[in-house]
Amino acid sequence: MNDRTQAFDRLSDDYRRFRPGYPDSVLDRLRAHVLDGVRDSWPDPWLLLDVGSGTGISTRALRRVFGPEPRVVGVEPGHAMRDAAGEEDVEYVDGRAEEVPLPDASAALVLAAQAVHWFDRPAFYAEAARLLVPGGTVAVLNNDRDWTASAFVDAYESLMEEYGDDYGRDYRVFDTVGEMEAQDGLVDAVEFTAAWTRELDPDGLVGTALSSSKMAAVVRAIGEERTRAAVTALAAEHFPDGNVRVPYVTRLFLARRVP
């Protein structure tokens, strides 16, 4: 049986090396939302969970943004992804988004970064409501390439749509606010967005492309050599100076566990 939770095992090294982080403005908004919900009854130290943590990009970001005091735990079912993450003053446990191996009302934050499209989302939100302390935060965080702002990104997305397995560039478009609000125990769902541009060289672009499970479908269809050549050709066409500029929109969705 094909286990989707191991989809990134062959990509884990490239994933850690090439995937982008998140804008400070978005991480600051996440921190402020958690702090706004603080209750005297919260366990000490606070528990911050990163569900679907992968190689720990967002897990390490939580440590950086919240400082040394909270307990930061990444929850990840992919064996190679956990191995690639390392420790770096955070913990990792084997678990799925719909069944996290931690107690009721134990977490100040349940975050899903770049991962919620893999989940049974209603089950994940129910699990977040179970895990959160009163006043705690559930957050969904996504980096999305902005094909509306770049002819290069539009062409890049078209490449994946042509050769990928039923790939559509809108695969992460959900009514996240509505889904959060529909879950008993979660209230006041909001969205915050930030536009930014990532700059990298052509090798970094190819590395980023090959770290993607979506681009892996293109590799299966036309081979790695042709995929590398196609991505490199797109970069050369649109950025003859060798400075690749990829516009992103980072979207942060937040809701609060009822007091």
Return d(Cα 134, Cα 43) in angstroms, integer: 11
Contacts of 147-151 with CB under 8 Å at 24 or more apart are 149/195, 149/247, 150/245, 150/246, 150/247, 151/238
Neighbour tally for 35: CB within 10 Å = 11
Q: How far is CA 156 from the centre of its chain?
A: 20
Q: How far is CA 89 from the centre of its chain?
A: 20
Return d(Cα 256, Cα 259) in angstroms, integer: 9
Return d(Cα 194, Cα 229) in angstroms, integer: 32
What pLDDT is stored for residue 88 in this prediction? 73
Interval 90-99 mean pLDDT: 95
Band the pLDDT of 16: cuts 50, 70, 90. low
Interval 29-54 mean pLDDT: 97
Return d(Cα 168, Cα 156) in angstroms, integer: 12
Helix, strand, or coil here: 123?
A: helix
CA nearest neighbour of 87 among 99, 74, 78, 68: 74
Spatial CB neighbours of 239, under 8 Å, sequence gap ≥ 6: 152, 202, 245
- pLDDT tens by residue, 127-156: 999 999 999 999 999 999 999 999 999 999
What separation in angstroms does the CA of 158 have from each of 54, 70, 116, 163, 250? 26, 43, 23, 9, 21
CA nearest neighbour of 116 among 156, 61, 58: 58
pLDDT at position 107 over 90: yes
Architecture of domain 4-146+170-198+246-257: 3-Layer(aba) Sandwich (3.40)
Strands 244-257 and 186-200: antiparallel
pLDDT at position 12 over 70: no
What pLDDT is stored for residue 78 in this prediction? 86
Domain ranges of the chain: 4-146+170-198+246-257
Structure pTM?
Answer: 0.91
